[in-house]
């Protein structure tokens, strides 16, 4: 099954410094996966939250809140577009993320959503640190410099 869905959160690379990445599965309804395969998803205002499991505070769970448009051919049991969806990670990975987020105050952000070779929707989340204003200016300057160098390489004298 060849499905080339690869939706990126481009603002994340500008607003955050990415420290570590994880790939997780997502718990979805049927109409949600159909909307993802149609490309009707946005990661611009999405974020991840680490919540304790009900009745078990030592076992926390990772949830993502993102926008998945309603399926156009869905019936009365269509999904809610902006609901929290559970991420499926190993216990070791969740504990590692929890340790870093709680102790150092880092953020968990979704970077991209893709469909793997087996047809499952996966999400790439990252532990990230927010950039300051001067860091953003520096990254813009580096981007402009790279573009200028590439342009000069194309021009032949």
Read off the CATH number of the domain in which 64 is found: 2.40.280.10
Q: How many beta carbons lie within 10 A of that of residue 86, not counting itself? A: 15
Amino acid 125: pLDDT: 93
Is the pLDDT at 154 greater than 80? The verdict is yes
Based on C-alpha coordinates, what's the Rg of the chain? 19
Q: What pLDDT band is residue 26 in, cutting at 50, 70 and 90? A: very high
Number of domains making up the chain: 1
Give the pLDDT confidence score for residue 153 in this predicted structure.
85
Average of per-residue pLDDT across 34-59: 80
CA distance 47 to 29: 19
Q: What sign does the CA torsion over 45, 48, 52, 54 have?
A: positive
Distance CA 19, CA 25 (A): 20
pLDDT at 1 over 60: no
Residue 74, in any domain of the structure: yes
At 4 the three-state DSSP class reads coil
Asked whether residue 63 is assigned to any structural domain, the reply reads: yes
pLDDT greater than 90 at residue 124: yes
Q: Report yes or no on 20 lying in a domain.
A: yes
At residue 54, the pLDDT reads: 62
Examine residue 24 and state whether it is found in any structural domain, yes or no: yes
Domain for residue 42, yes or no?
yes
Mean pLDDT for the chain overall = 84
For residues 6-34, give the mean pLDDT. Answer: 87
Report how far residue 42's alpha carbon sits from residue 102's, in angstroms, rounded to the nearest whole number.
Answer: 27
Continuous H helices in 45-132: 91-104
Instruction: Tell me the mean pLDDT in the region 50-78.
Output: 78
Burial category of 137 from C-beta neighbours within 10 Å (exposed 0-12, middle 13-18, buried 19 and up): exposed
Tell me the residue range of the domain where 45 lies.
6-131
Is beta strand 84-88 parallel, antiparallel or unpaired with respect to 16-26?
Answer: antiparallel
More confident residue, 93 or 81: 93
Q: In what order do the strands lie in the sheet with 84-88?
A: 6-8, 107-115, 121-130, 16-26, 84-88, 56-68, 41-53
Residue count of the chain: 157
Q: Is residue 22 part of a domain?
A: yes
**Structural domain contains residue 156:** no
Within a domain: residue 28?
A: yes
Span 37-42, mean pLDDT? 85
């Amino acid at each position: 099954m060849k499905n080339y869905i690869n939706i990126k959160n481009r603002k994340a690379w500008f607003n955050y410094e990415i420290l570590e990445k994880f790939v997780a599965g997502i718990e979805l309804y049927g109409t949600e996966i159909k909307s993802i395969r149609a490309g009707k998803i946005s990661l611009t205002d999405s974020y991840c939250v680490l919540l304790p499991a009900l009745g078990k505070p030592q076992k926390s769970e990772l949830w993502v809140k993102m926008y998945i448009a309603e399926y156009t051919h869905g019936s009365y049991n269509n999904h809610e577009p902006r609901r929290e969806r559970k991420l499926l990670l190993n216990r070791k990975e969740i504990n590692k993320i929890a340790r870093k987020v709680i102790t150092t105050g880092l953020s968990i952000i979704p970077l991209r959503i893709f469909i793997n070779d087996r047809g499952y929707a996966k999400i790439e989340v990252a532990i990230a640190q927010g950039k300051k204003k001067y860091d953003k200016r520096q990254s813009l300057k580096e981007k402009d410099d790279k573009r200028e160098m590439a342009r000069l390489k194309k021009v032949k004298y």
